[in-house]
Structure 1
Amino acid sequence: MTATREPEITPLRKNRDFLLLWSGSAVSVLGSTASTVAYPLLVLATTGSAADAGVVGFVALLPMLLLQIPASALVDRWDRRTVMIWCDAIRAAALTTIVLALAVNRLYLPHILVVGFVEGTVSVTHELAAGAAVPHVVHKSQVSAALSRNEARERGATMLGTPLGGILFGLGRAVPFVLDALTYVVSLVTLLFIRRDFQTGKPEHEERHVLDGIRWLWRNEFLRTATFLIAGSNLLFRAMFLIVVVMAGDLGASPAWIGVLFGVAGGAGLLGSLAADRCRRRFDLATIVIGANWLWAVLMVVIVATGNVYALGAAYAGMWFVGPLWNVAVTSHQLEITPDHLQGRVLGAVGVLAFGAVPLGSLIGGYTLDRLGSDAAALVFTGWMVLLATAATLSRSVRQTRRHNRVPHDAQVQDPPGDGDPGRPALRGVADDR
């Protein structure tokens, strides 16, 4: 009897649709990072007010806090590829109005605020659709590897885009916004050439409740716990950004050296993203979740105890390295067990809870610094990280994930790549095991 031959899995480097999705997003992230740097520079050059620059930043980020849940419902109800195409078109058009207003010297603050809010709104929608699309353009055994490459894309584009925004603004106020608009056009074109659908079958247009993602997330004990751990660590990282700046200055670091410190930290994050898939395949999910939190706690102790600016920078970079290991492991697990018709809303629910901690971290970090000073503030947040690590260790839902084996190196699944959703019923069984 001849054995049935399993379908061959296309490597990611040869997966046309994944490469188109990945490269289009990489280009658009590069452009949006450059314009993010250029926005405050533009406002300062236009109005001369730092307060106005702060308002623009706040308005541009506001959709991430307010609109993730309603946007996620649209991502599940409408065709995701079409949604992403329209998002790119709207973003490019919005930025073009900035360029045209600068060309005729008629740019005013309300115009910038509207464009910032519109771009932020459609960017939230685009990112939710892109996240939900990943399992449909790669084989199920490659989701972790695809997310690892996405992490590397985000961090690499951010590292390049940050200095690029300042450089381009120096060449002309409109230049970074021209680049950003063009990158959205490139992203749109890559989407037009992708052949696979971004969801199982055709989207259903019956009424779907926007809160279904939150309800599903709340019923899944592990993901609920992981989301609160993410929120807690996001609060810590945002606060530590301010604290590390002050601590490095207290240790005699110049502003230029502090900039180098954060550049090295970004590079460590890029290395972590490249190692994330290998880590996910070697260790089970519980080990990664518990281990990441304790590594952060140990590195926080180093930051508190050291009086050396190089050790401070190395410890902070180490924290950035660990982040992608966590992101890829938890997100790949979430994508694997979430029913496809809920992917957008679950991503939105996780995003709004995790992002909600970021502005809170800024407020708490600034207040703690003001009241206690950098050393005492760092000690307070070290205690906070130890509490998070202890909670992860004691969590029954986290420990129980050990029964889900880590991703094998030679994972082979009977379903051909991108063939829809034949394996979902078993994955739903995992999600429903509460």
Structure 2
Amino acid sequence: MAVSTAALVADGALMGSATASTTEAADRGRASRDVRLFWWAGATDALGSQASGVVLPLLLLGLGHSAAVVGTVAGVSTAAGLLLAPLAAVPADRGARKPVMFWSALVSALAMAGVATVAAVGTPPLALLLGAVLLERFSTAVYEAAAAGTVLLIAPPGESARVVAGLSAGEQGALVLGPALGGALYQLSRALPFVADAVSYAVTAVCVKALRSDLRAEPEPHQRSHPAGGPAPHTGTAPAGPAGTPARGPLRALLSEVGAGFALVRTSPFLRLVVIWTTTVNGVIVALYYGAVFTLQKGGHGGAPMGLVLALSGAAGLAGSLAAPRIAGRIGAARLLVTVTWLLVPLAAGLATAEGPWTYGALFGVFCLLMPVVTVVLQSRAIQETPPGLQARTGAVLSTAVGGSAALAPVLAGLCATYAGTAAPAVLAALVLTLLACRTTFVRLPAPGAAL
């Protein structure tokens, strides 16, 4: 039986279409699986961190240390990771993202196991406890720097906002369960919350190892090739000098690599806005948290009430994260940014007069309901605005800035609580938020299509 050429062409087209459809379905399935694994890695990590983080200040206070010492330990441990984050972002952007994430999670697991061992001792030396906490913070900072940009590599096209909202919801869900778990475990044994954190880091390492994607960013088109005889594209490495010798030393080349993310943030109005807003609000909420710890501790409340406060605020944050994409679509991101920032001011001021766990829980809950609504929108857009080869380094700039404010906040909160009363951290937070609200109101936002 004769078969026409047209029929053969049609059959070939159908077969090609079916093959392409099968390939696309397989890619979507792999992306969906990797998104789930990455979600479990982040949620489990957050759960363990919340379980141990809520009781670490209580452990130090219970050992007889002052609020100023507690704040200083928290600040130093947070600042410890700031130096490594930008350095770890370079190999992550260059293709080593997955192994860096895996090994840093394992080191964090070992460090928290060390904290648990030290906490089990009757009266552990402060230096020994601080050393274990510092190691955990170092490795966690490396993990966070390497993980920046993972969403762009595993999320289906056009679904970055949904994936970011899901990740944020997982973290907020951990904030609901983690403090309650940590408080309950602390009542049984002061070492158990840190054991739980060590296990959570181990689970995170397993999830990262199970990702099918190698988490390598595809090179930009101009980086794959360039016209013969034309200038070589910028790749972040030192340019060659005469006779093929490097024109810059290894140190300058490394600094250039590390500074690429900062250069992008410096030249992008939208990314600068993201850094300023996120850094300020995260620093404020850390200061408010430590203010709550000092106030409740002074009132004779233990780990369980503090866990209740954070559980209520975590439940509110979970709702805010899930609702963020829909709310931003209805209200508009720019108007949402200004409105939420102004609403945070009276909430912080109200915490200055709060006393009991329920009052703190209610005010913290509303604060944490509003904050993720803006954070999810800003972060998802920042991912879209950043080139794939600069995701980790740009994320490191943001995490370093946020980490800096998170390191300074507990120190200031501890000093304020020690020398000006436990209400002082909330008063200071309200003043800082007022300045931020004025800036977001009068600043000229980037044009549509370039930012919000």
Question: Equivalent of 2:43, from 16, 26, 34?
Answer: 26
Report the residue type matching 1:228 in the other structure: I
Cα gap change, 1:377 to 1:137, in 2 (>3 Å)? closer
1:144-183 equivalences under 5 Å are 144-172=161-189, 174-183=191-200
User: Could you say which residue in structure 1 is the equivalent of 2:281?
Assistant: 233
CA distance in 2, matches of 1:205, 1:271: 41
Question: Equivalent of 1:264, from 300, 303, 312?
Answer: 312
Deviations 1:32-81 (A, max 9, x none): 33333455566678xx4426766654443232444332233343234111
Cα gap change, 1:283 to 1:81, in 2 (>3 Å)? farther
User: Could you say which residue in structure 2 is the equivalent of 1:191?
Assistant: 208
CA distance in 2, matches of 1:240, 1:181: 27
Question: Equivalent of 2:65, from 41, 50, 56?
Answer: 50
Question: Equivalent of 1:62, from 71, 79, 89?
Answer: 79
CA distance in 1, matches of 2:193, 2:154: 31
Report the residue type matching 2:130 in the other structure: L
TM-score (norm 2): 0.72
1:317-396 equivalences under 5 Å are 317-365=365-413, 381-396=429-444
Deviations 1:148-186 (A, max 9, x none): 111111122133222323433444455444433332222
Cα gap change, 1:93 to 1:354, in 2 (>3 Å)? closer
CA distance in 2, matches of 1:172, 1:308: 25
Contact 1:268 1:321 in 2 (8 A): yes
User: Could you say which residue in structure 1 is the equivalent of 2:151?
Assistant: 134
CA distance in 1, matches of 2:180, 2:356: 27
Of 314-323 and 267-276, the range deviating more from structure 2: 314-323
User: Could you say which residue in structure 1 is the equivalent of 2:90?
Assistant: 73
Question: Equivalent of 2:321, from 250, 273, 284?
Answer: 273
CA RMSD of aligned residues (A): 4.4
User: Could you say which residue in structure 2 is the equivalent of 1:408?
Assistant: none
**Ranges in structure 1 where 5+ consecutive residues have no aligned partner:** 405-429
CA distance in 2, matches of 1:242, 1:186: 28
CA distance in 2, matches of 1:165, 1:104: 19
CA distance in 2, matches of 1:9, 1:319: 41
Q: CA deviation at 1:216?
A: 1.0
Question: Secondary structure of 2:214's match?
Answer: coil
CA distance in 1, matches of 2:354, 2:178: 32
Identity of counterpart residues, as a percentage? Answer: 28
User: Could you say which residue in structure 2 is the equivalent of 1:224?
Assistant: 272
Contact 1:217 1:223 in 2 (8 A): yes
Deviations 1:296-318 (A, max 9, x none): 23545766899999787644422
Cα gap change, 1:369 to 1:55, in 2 (>3 Å)? closer
Deviations 1:330-379 (A, max 9, x none): 11111101111211111111122233223444455566667877789866
Of 107-116 and 223-232, the range deviating more from structure 2: 107-116
Question: Secondary structure of 1:50's match?
Answer: coil
Cα gap change, 1:12 to 1:108, in 2 (>3 Å)? farther
Q: CA deviation at 1:323?
A: 0.8
The answer to whether structure 1 residue 85 and structure 2 residue 113 are counterparts is no
Q: CA deviation at 1:139?
A: 1.5
Of 107-116 and 290-299, the range deviating more from structure 2: 107-116
Of 349-358 and 131-140, the range deviating more from structure 2: 349-358
Cα gap change, 1:173 to 1:243, in 2 (>3 Å)? closer
User: Could you say which residue in structure 1 is the equivalent of 2:131?
Assistant: 114
Cα gap change, 1:92 to 1:342, in 2 (>3 Å)? same
Deviations 1:263-299 (A, max 9, x none): 3223211211121232244343322322221222354
Question: Secondary structure of 2:149's match?
Answer: helix
CA distance in 1, matches of 2:136, 2:295: 35
Q: CA deviation at 1:254?
A: 7.3
Q: CA deviation at 1:386?
A: 3.4
Cα gap change, 1:224 to 1:325, in 2 (>3 Å)? same
Of 343-352 and 293-302, the range deviating more from structure 2: 293-302
Number of aligned positions between the proteins = 400
Question: Secondary structure of 2:45's match?
Answer: helix
CA distance in 2, matches of 1:103, 1:55: 22
1:238-253 equivalences under 5 Å are 238-241=286-289
**Ranges in structure 2 where 5+ consecutive residues have no aligned partner:** 1-9, 221-234, 238-252
Question: Secondary structure of 2:159's match?
Answer: helix
